[in-house]
Chains A and B, each alone.
Chain A
């Protein structure tokens, strides 16, 4: 945003005719960065400007810069606007598994960041593949799958789609191709690539260049394997990147009406019990947290809600 703003600032200065070196230098002398400008008391600024020779131009410059800054933030919304947005734009996406839909009272909600947390081989990737297949099929929506562990299995998707459909053989191959072409898998192996691709996706969605069907679902499997190598240690950069990724996913979900799903693993906590990885700051990041666990070596998976905006904790059992 800083670079974007600087461009705007330059253009602004040229437009108001403040192109003579003196006032440029002065403006840049006063505020080396946008933050400085914003932090300064407005009256002090104006008083400083009064003292300069071309005070009128400087004051004009300041007002125009401030109006550009005002244009950057989101418009104010009241409760009715939010409710309308939620009812019209934020639909529920069925996961394809009745029990999970029942547990979540309909399915995954667009605009929410859902986290699947569970020990190894508890079914997290399977749920992700199931939801991806169902959304691509039922809603003809595009699914973006970020795969960090090479566990995206097209064969499994084919199996799942085969179970869901009852068409004849000839049609089903064409439909299969159509549905599977809507699921895009991106292999990512570090957090910077993930952030980069998410930013690109955001700019594509914003400028509506994204061809094909509407993106409805975004899956990151698993985000914890991207963050664990950088979290902790002497610098706080890993922590900042984790929070940045979380916010970016939530913003994408809200602004472009898609549902974001991430998976997380578990680590040992006190007394030998398992707790979700990524620590306390991540705990409040997802809107919905679902805990999966499997009874040892059986095929029954259990899912429980750890956190949800409006559903009280509940359980579900299913076979994956």
Chain B
């Protein structure tokens, strides 16, 4: 996967590349086929996201408290090392269905595969290790099952991955003030260049420390937009996915109150994709609010003991088994 290993290689083929990192649209299209996406482990969500969260982009996920933003954060941290797979070939009949799983069963020597690690930046203090452990265990169990299904002909390879190892792949930082947040984001570039196997950066939540105690609104706008640019640069340079979890606030416009993401209009352009999580009756739903290439769509999901799953929880397994027959 040399594309992901060498960030921004100078482009000798392109005549017009007098700037390092410039690429033609055709080259980017070829590369995009090789880029991995990080699954949310919920098939419906993956569908509307075009396969999952894409690397090289900043995705903002916002929603009311209790909707499952932090759960999604856990899921990305643990599944941060997904790779395209043989499953794609298996599900060749159904073009709309592109699951990418964290099944890492290539060669025992390359145990850990791409070894994608995750950086989790916690500003709220809502990271609970027990919950992450629960999700990691469920993930390992799932992988073992799919491993068994995939390799039912050949000898079953023992997947020796422990949940503890999955947790060991998460770098956790706790931030207590906005200055620490700014310092952290400045430091991230150096950190990621030393740990090249980081594939996802999750910030939960990006808005907390900027919502109160800020007297100078103009300063806040400057700082936030500077931060947004740095995150964009990080995502592009190191080909990783940046996930920002955001809170909601009430906005009064056109005579009514409605919910919108915090930090105002100036922050709204700081992400490449935006997903809004909301309640639809008793169901949790996700809606694509902003994306350069995906159509607007919404999909339901549920939060279970295993993490995030589709509403009809057995559908993924059923489709897998149908495809294998």
Residues of B21-49 at the interface with A, using a CB-CB cut-off of 8 Å, are 21-29, 32
Q: CB-nearest residue of chain A relative to B33?
A: A155
Which chain B residues lie closer than 8 Å to A272 at the CB level? 252-253
- The complex places the Cα of A159 from the Cα of B32 at a distance, in Å, of 14
Answer whether A150 and B232 are a contact pair too, CB < 8 Å, given A156-B292, A233-B222.
yes
Interface size class of A (residues with CB under 8 A): 35 or more
CA distance A185 to B23 in the complex (A): 5
Known: A184-B22, A265-B265. A155 touches B29 (CB 8 A): yes
**Minimum C-beta distance from B177 to chain A (A):** 20
Asked if A148 and B292 make an inter-chain contact with CB atoms under 8 angstroms apart, the answer reads: no
Interface residues of B in 222-249 (CB under 8 A from A): 222-223, 225-226, 228-230, 232-233, 235-236
State whether the Cβ of A283 lies closer than 8 Å to any Cβ in chain B. no
Cβ of B21: which chain A residues have Cβ within 8 Å of it? 186-187
Is A120 at the interface (CB under 8 A from chain B)? yes
Q: Are A183 and B24 CB-contacts (below 8 A) given A156-B292, A212-B15, A272-B252?
A: yes
Residues on A with C-beta less than 8 A from B270 are 149, 225
B residues near A204, Cβ cutoff 8 Å: 18
Given contacts A150-B56, A272-B253, contact A121 B290 (CB under 8 A): yes
Q: A190 contacts B290, CB within 8 Å?
A: no
| Contact assessment for B222 and A229 in the assembled complex, using a CB-CB cutoff below 8 Å | yes
Q: Tell me if B24 and A180 are in contact (CB < 8 A).
A: yes
Q: Are B57 and A120 in contact (CB under 8 A)?
A: no
Known: A150-B56, A190-B229, A225-B229. Contact between A184 and B14, CB under 8 A?
A: yes
**In the complex, A190→B229 CA distance in Å?**
8
Q: Is B198 an interface residue (CB 8 A)?
A: no
Task: Flag whether A251 is at the interface (Cβ < 8 A).
Answer: no
**Residue pair A189, B19 in contact (C-beta under 8 Å):** no
Instruction: Check B17 against A184 for contact (C-beta < 8 Å).
Output: yes
| B218 x A232 contact (CB < 8 A) | yes
Q: Are A228 and B266 in contact (CB under 8 A)?
A: yes
Q: A186-B19, A197-B18, A224-B269 are in contact. Are A181 and B232 (CB under 8 A)?
A: no
**How near does chain A come to B268, taking the closest CB pair, in angstroms?**
4
Are the CB atoms of B225 and A184 closer together than 8 Å? no
> In whole angstroms, what is the CA distance A268 to B219 when docked?
16
CB < 8 Å neighbour of A233 from B27, B218, B232, B289? B218
Contact partner of A265 (CB less than 8 A), chosen from B22, B219, B233, B269, is B269
Is A154 close to B, CB under 8 A?
Answer: yes
Smallest Cβ-Cβ distance to B11: which chain A residue: A184
Residues of A within 8 A of B15 (CB): 211-212
Q: Is B272 an interface residue (CB 8 A)?
A: yes
Q: Which residues of B contact A290 (CB under 8 A)?
A: none
Contact B292 A125 (CB under 8 A): yes
On chain A, the residues within 8 Å of B271 by CB distance are 149
Q: Does B16 contact A (CB under 8 A)?
A: yes
**Chain A residue nearest to B295 in the complex (CB):** A299
Q: Are B229 and A180 in contact (CB under 8 A)?
A: no
Q: Are B269 and A225 interface neighbours, CB within 8 A?
A: yes
Asked if B66 is at the interface (CB within 8 A of a chain A CB), the reply is: no
Q: Are A120 and B29 in contact (CB under 8 A)?
A: no
> Which residue of the partner chain, among B14, B25, B27, B269, contacts A157 with CB atoms under 8 Å?
B25
Verify if A259 is at the interface (C-beta below 8 Å from B).
no
Q: How far is the CB of A262 from chain B (nearest CB, A)?
A: 13
- Is B292's CB under 8 angstroms from A129's CB? yes
Task: Give residues of chain A (194-242) contacting chain B, Cβ–Cβ below 8 Å.
Answer: 196-197, 200-201, 204, 210-212, 222, 224-226, 228-233
Chain A 123-157 residues near chain B, CB threshold 8 A = 125-126, 129, 142, 144, 148-157
B266 to chain A, nearest CB (A): 6
Q: Is the CB of B23 within 8 A of A184?
A: yes
Given A149-B269, A212-B15, A231-B222, the answer on whether A181 and B24 have CB atoms closer than 8 Å is yes
Q: How far is the CA of A231 from the CA of B224 in the complex (A)?
A: 13
Quick check: A229 and B25 within 8 Å, CB to CB?
A: no
A231 contact set on B, CB distance < 8 A:
222
Whether A265 contacts B268 in the complex (CB less than 8 A), given A184-B14, A297-B296, comes out as: yes
- Report Cα–Cα, A190/B19, bound state, in Å: 14
Question: Which of B222, B236, B269 contacts A230 (CB under 8 A)?
Answer: B222
CB distance from B63 to the nearest CB of A (A): 16
Closest beta carbon of chain A to B41's beta carbon, Å: 23
Query: B268 contacts which of A120, A151, A152, A159 (Cβ < 8 Å)?
Result: A120
Q: Which of A119, A159, A186, A197 counts the most chain B CB atoms within 10 A?
A: A186
User: For the complex, what is the distance from the CA of A193 to the CA of B229, rounded to whole Å?
Assistant: 13
Q: How far is the CA of A150 from the CA of B53 in the complex (A)?
A: 14
- B83 located at the interface, meaning its Cβ lies under 8 Å from any Cβ of chain A in the complex: no
Say whether A274 faces chain B, with CB atoms less than 8 Å apart: yes
Chain B residue contacts of A121, Cβ below 8 A: 268, 274, 289-290
Cβ of B293 within 8 Å of any chain A Cβ, yes or no, is yes
B264 within 8 A of A: yes
The distance in angstroms between the C-alpha atoms of A106 and B25, with both chains bound, is 26
Q: Is A113 an interface residue (CB 8 A)?
A: no
Contacts A/B (CB < 8 Å), 15 sampled: A120-B269, A125-B292, A144-B16, A149-B269, A158-B29, A180-B24, A184-B24, A200-B19, A224-B269, A225-B270, A232-B222, A265-B268, A266-B265, A267-B265, A268-B265
9 closest pairs, A vs B, by CB? A120-B268, A229-B226, A153-B293, A180-B26, A154-B29, A121-B290, A189-B233, A228-B225, A183-B25
Besides A149-B232, A182-B24, A212-B15, 6 other A-B contacts (C-beta < 8 A): A144-B16, A152-B25, A184-B22, A185-B25, A226-B229, A232-B221
